[in-house]
Structure 1
Amino acid sequence: MCGFAGFIDGNNHQQYKQSERLQILNQMGERLYRRGIDDKQLFDSTPLSFIFRRLSIVDLAGGQQPIWNEDKTMFVAVNGEIYNHIELRSNLRNTHQFRTYSDAEIVLHLYEEIGVNALHLLNGMFAIALWDARRQQLFLARDRLGIKPLYYAQIGSLLIFSSTLMSLFAHPDVPRHPQFQDLTNLSVTTSYVRGINRLAGGHYLLYDANTTNLIIQSYWNLENYWVTEPNSDSRQPQDYIREYRELFVDSVQKRLMSDVPVGAFLSGGLDSGAVVAVANQFHNRLHCFSILADYTRENGDIQAARQFCQKLNLPFHPVYFDSEKLLEQVHFSLETFEYFIWIMDAPKFNMDWFLKHELHRYCQTLFPDLKVMLLGQGADEFAGGYSAPEDSSTKDWQDYIQQLNEEEQQTSQLKQLTSLNDGSYLFDRGIKSYPPDCTSFQKQMLREVYYLQDYNLWHEDRSAMSQSIEARVPFLDHRLVEYLAAVPPQHHAALFWNKMIIREMAGQWLPHDFVYRKKSFGASHQTEWVLIQYKIVQRIFTQFCEKYLANSRSLFSDEQILSWFDQANVNSVKGIQALDKLLNAMAMTVFKTICLTGKSPTSMDYLYGCSPLKTLDDF
């Protein structure tokens, strides 16, 4: 994991002196420190100013970025990894002189040869910045599924860009007016600040400094791989399972590419279990980390994870989350709350982020050389993982499809203005209309591309980044996603009901009871989280009021905030709703203050390197 930031102003318009530009760059780089703790490189020459922070994972000695071409007319910087760079190098060795063993360098030379079409050849997760000094063009691109982040803002002829929203605030000209939308209905191209955008996954941006024109173009669409008509292909479900298995093994093997140790988060469920089982074939002594809490004991996840590691003789680390003592263990205060708003780039606080953060913090503190973590993220979204959850009433595939149709109709009726008097409104996800003749499940696949960018991949990136760890997601190799999208509709029920394609695929490596055990996030799980959230509010509310209420930056009246606090409890639906509103209001208020001041409300190193939670082997 790395990070970059910069700004470019065309038409020979230079608002700032070089000393001022370098100061801005360094401030942007400070806010990217956790994304790249190992190196910092600056470039400043009219019209582009650029900074790169590196987390050294591949070519530790020689992989500093940006990387220049042979005649110093073009450079590239990549946040992320290009997993197939060695294969691609073999085709270019006779025409280009490679200066490093870094995976990022292949992007540079491919772009010299074939321009934006280079993106189609890359297998990886990436945000790319490429500067063509000869043409005076800046090229920015994001991986197909939006695993790696990239923000930008255009103000007149000025373009400011960064891997994080908070880094952008170091530039004095960046927009600062917050806008708040319902997280479940947020566009993949907007942020929580009006005028700051996200480059969507599968898109690139080209800025021409000669004309100040900015072009944004899609280079990948999942719908291009759909089969909408009955297919004459003679393959049967078992053929698809076998071929998917072969792709998955290759995907996991590619994501072991590293010159530093690699670990894995093992939940005790099917997806992370499949990742670890395959990784174990190619990587010795993979450290596995699991959440040990009341709910993981109750649903059997932690026991399954331990038994799995014992069978494979893998180091197992059950990180203990004691709901009674958790806040004391991490010294949770108002500063902690502010810290999470800052690192997550969002006006929200979520227990899932908090637990993932603490899991990463345990890994970083006790195993500082371990900079890469494999996750099971992304398995459910395109393989029918949500078709038959334990708490669902769906009986079969057709029943699930009917449920999808009803949800789609309900969603289309929910678009509305927000109640906040700040110009905010609920966005759709950029899906103006669906291609003709696509099935309900194919529509859901397309929605999942957006859901992943909006939530899962977004918070996984931030949680890992906060502790200088790179999270890798083998199930989201674009080849696997495209393969599932291309399964003919007549095989959907056989392969996607209850995620059968992955269950059957994993049966080659995992015990039958592991493959078919139910994974539940039941009522006890949610109750435990709500209780912790209530304790957080009780713990920090007085400090919050003293710092944030009764000032011009408050979004809500004192009376409203105090009313929600009085109503909040864990014993009634209304009490839990009031608690949720209060937490959101507090997070939004902190976020607005960050926007207006452009500064972190607390130390950016808060919690970094502090004593983490402990393992509990006897459970």
Structure 2
Amino acid sequence: MCGIVAWFSSSPGPELPETGREMLNRIVHRGPDESGQAPVGDKTWLGHNRLSIVGLADGAQPLAGPRGWAMVCNGEIYNDAQLRKSLRQYRFGTGSDNESALALLAEHGPQALDRLQGMWALCAATPDGRFVAARDRLGIKPLYWAETDGTVLFASEMRAFPIEVQPLVAAFPPGCWWTPEDGLVRFAEAVTPAEVDARDTERRTREVLVDSVLRHLMADVEVGVFLSGGLDSSVVAAVAAQEYARRGARLKTFSVGTEDSPDLAAAREVARFLGTDHHEAVFDTAQAIDVVDDVVASVESFDAGLIRSAVPNWFLAELASRHVKAVLTGEGADELFAGYGYYHEQHPAPGALRRELVRTVGLLHGLNLQRCDRVTMAHGLEARVPFLDTAVVTHAMSLPDEVKVLGPDGVEKSHLRRAFTGWLPGSILWRRKLEFGSGSGAEDLLTPYWERRVSDADLSANRDAQVRSKEELSYYRAFRRALPRIRPRSVLTRFAVA
């Protein structure tokens, strides 16, 4: 996993290469292993900070391709092997999975990017002035951009942009590519419908998830699992632990919480059952408050729910980064299999549940995926999300609403639980959902702390900041300290999609 920076300018000035280098320096935490940069012709500059996961010896970027193509990419291409077989005319020069994205682009143009399976954001260019920027269909990997004085700047995080450009920064939309000639073009939707065999859907759900987890273990380094003790991360850990045992190794798992938090207890039970090499991070109020500024600056948001879960995630990523360079997480399962209570309370009409699930899957890039990426990358750790693999999303979103409604006992995600019967202890398989901020104990520490320290008058005086609570006001102030000129809740692009 990495951090990328690029700029394209029809009339570049002498200050732009230095601007690119300064932007790259601001996100060095995303790729502490090595840094690369290069001009491409006289209109483009590409920069890359690398966290080495695949192709350790020869995966430095910018990657070079035929006809002068050069590319920087942040991500993992999980169908790299299949793409290499289909691109036999292309002479691959490295073992980097990212090179298959460059090969696809160089041979078939940006129209072919929908063939990539994985999480990625890229910028590529040629010396004669061609330029392409693109982002995966769900926005699992971040990309931001801004246009100023005829120059378009790109970076993996908002904090990379010069302060004078920050008011212009917007999220590059998922599933789109951009060229100077064609503008912004959509190549893939977040959710693509497909026909599902109504027979034995639990078996098919299990098969598609097992296949995804195995592909997400692709790496030249050891991969661990974030284990909260909830259903989603426990399913991922169960599949990964079985694969590691087949290799004659023990999977490393990591959990976090306050001393008596339910997540820590549940994670221990799962780890014992699976026989993993388990590690814990325990935090208290003082430690949680102490990292809030760093967490808000990293997540680049002040949404209270997001920060409340990002704080324990910070300690978790810090712990895991001391043992592995990549982890699998359970992100996305709730949005695919209707894990949140409000889905069932507010969307009971036929078809309404699916519409809401499609909507929330499409918003993940600005919420949980943003938190997941930033907190892990702040510690030089790659987070992978097997539930959000294209095949899993397509399968899950094609299941009928009846499969995802609450079971007779009112437990959510009954279909997913039944699909993995026997893989986990019954107490975990049917454990009711707790959101991460609650299960880890962070909510019980943070919310009362800020309620005591922010007055009603102070909250009323700051309503124009779009904050909804005293806790959120505290995070908003930290957000302003870190990103003084970024537009709040900047998740929409200013550029029209063709």
Question: What's the TM-score bracket when you normalise by the shorter of the two chains?
Answer: 0.7 to 0.9
Structure 2 match to 1:26:
21
Deviation per CA, 1:105-159, whole angstroms, max 9, x where unpaired?
Answer: 111111223222332221100001121334x221111111111000111224211
Report the secondary structure of 2:114's partner residue: helix
User: 2: CA distance between counterparts of 1:359 and 1:56?
Assistant: 20
Are 1:82 and 2:77 matched, yes or no? Answer: yes
User: What one-letter code is carried by the residue in structure 2 that aligns with 1:443?
Assistant: R
Distance (Å, rounded) in 2 between the aligned partners of 1:145 and 1:8: 24
Alignment: residue pair count: 471
What is the deviation of 1:222?
4.4
Q: Secondary structure at the match of 2:413?
A: helix
Match of 2:276 in 1: 314
Amino acid at match of 1:306: R
- Tell me which residue corresponds to 2:161: 168
Matched residues in 1 for 2:141 and 2:111: separation? 19
Counterpart position of 1:67: 63
Alignment partner, residue 53 of structure 2: 57
The residue identity in structure 2 corresponding to 1:117 is: Q
Q: Secondary structure at the match of 2:276?
A: coil
The equivalent of 2:493 in structure 1 is none
Other-structure match for 1:158: 151
Q: Which amino acid aligns with 1:88?
A: L
Q: Which moved further from structure 2: 443-452 or 340-349?
A: 340-349
Counterpart of 1:270 (choices 224, 231, 235) is 231
Write the mapping of 1:331-480 to structure 2, written as runs, cut at 5 A.
332=290, 337-347=292-302, 350-364=307-321, 366-367=322-323, 370-386=324-340, 389=341, 403-404=346-347, 439-480=351-392
Counterpart pick for 2:251 among 286, 306, 321: 286
Assess, with a 3 A threshold, how the Cα gap between structure 1 residues 320 and 489 changes in structure 2: closer, same or farther.
closer
> Partner letter of residue 527 of structure 1?
D
* Pair 565,153 (structure 1): closer, same or farther in 2 beyond 3 Å: closer
User: Whole-Å Cα distance in 2 between the matches of residues 120 and 494 of structure 1?
Assistant: 34
Moved more, 484-493 or 75-84: 484-493
Q: Find the counterpart in structure 2 of residue 107 from structure 1.
A: 101
**Matching residue of 1:511:** 425
SS of residue in 2 equivalent to 1:520 = coil
Matched, 1:527 2:444: yes
Return the offset for 1:513.
2.7
Aligned match of 1:142:
135
Matched residue SS, 2:57? coil
The unaligned stretches of length 5 or more in structure 2 are 462-466, 488-498
Deviations 1:28-80 (A, max 9, x none): 11111011111111112311112111111101110011111134x11222101
Is residue 195 of structure 2 the alignment partner of residue 235 of structure 1?
Answer: no
Query: Partners of 1:158 and 1:41 in 2: how far apart?
Result: 21
**Corresponding residue for residue 220 of structure 1:** 188
Task: Please report how far the alpha carbon of residue 260 of structure 1 lies from its aligned counterpart in structure 2 after TM superposition.
Answer: 1.4
Q: Is the 8 A contact 1:81 1:125 kept in 2?
A: yes
Given that 1:138 and 1:207 are in contact with CA atoms closer than 8 Å, whether structure 2 keeps it comes out as yes
3-state secondary structure, aligned to 2:86: coil
Alignment match of 2:265 (pick from 277, 300, 303):
303
Residue 265 of structure 1 aligns with an amino acid whose one-letter code is: F
Q: String of CA shifts for 1:352-386, please: whole Å, max 9, x gaps.
A: 2122112111222x32xx11011011111011212
1:268 to 1:509, Cα distance in 2 relative to 1, 3 A: same
TM-score when normalising by structure 2: 0.86
* Shift in alpha-carbon separation, 1:579–1:224, aligned structure 2, 3 A: closer
Distance 1:96 1:119 in 2: 16
Q: Deviations over 1:392-418 (max 9, x none)?
A: 7xxxxxxx6562279xxxxxxxxxxxx
1-structure distance, mates of 2:319, 2:416: 30
Structure 2 vs 1, CA of residues 292 and 581 (structure 1 numbering), >3 Å: closer, same or farther?
A: closer
Give the superposition deviation at 1:25: 2.0
Contact 1:263 1:374 in 2 (8 A): yes
Cα offset for 1:100? 0.2
Q: Distance in 2 between matches of 1:202 and 1:25?
A: 25
Q: Is the 8 A contact 1:287 1:316 kept in 2?
A: yes
Name the CA distance, whole Å, in 2 between partners of 1:206 and 1:488: 38
Counterpart residue type for residue 282 of structure 2: Y
For 2:297 and 2:226, how far apart are their aligned partners in 1? Answer: 24
Cα 1:508–1:162 change in 2 (3 A) is same
8 Å Cα contact 2:411-2:432 kept in structure 1 = no
TM superposition shift of 1:246: 1.2
Q: C-alpha offsets along residues 524-578 of structure 1, whole Å, 9 cap, x if unaligned?
A: 763333234468x59xxxxxxxxxxxxxxxxxxxxxx8942899xxxxxxxx976
**Structure 1 residues 589 and 37, CA gap change in structure 2 (3 angstroms):** closer
Which of 169, 174, 179 is 1:196 aligned to?
A: 169
Q: Residue 121 of structure 1 corresponds to which residue in structure 2?
A: 115
Whole-angstrom distance in 1 between the partners of 2:207 and 2:187: 26
Q: TM-score, normalised by structure 1?
A: 0.70
Q: Distance in 2 between matches of 1:219 and 1:295?
A: 47
Q: Which runs of 5+ in 1 are unaligned?
A: 178-194, 209-213, 228-232, 393-399, 407-437, 539-560, 568-575, 597-619
* Map of 1:256 onto structure 2: 217
CA distance 1:223–1:89, shift in 2 (3 Å): closer
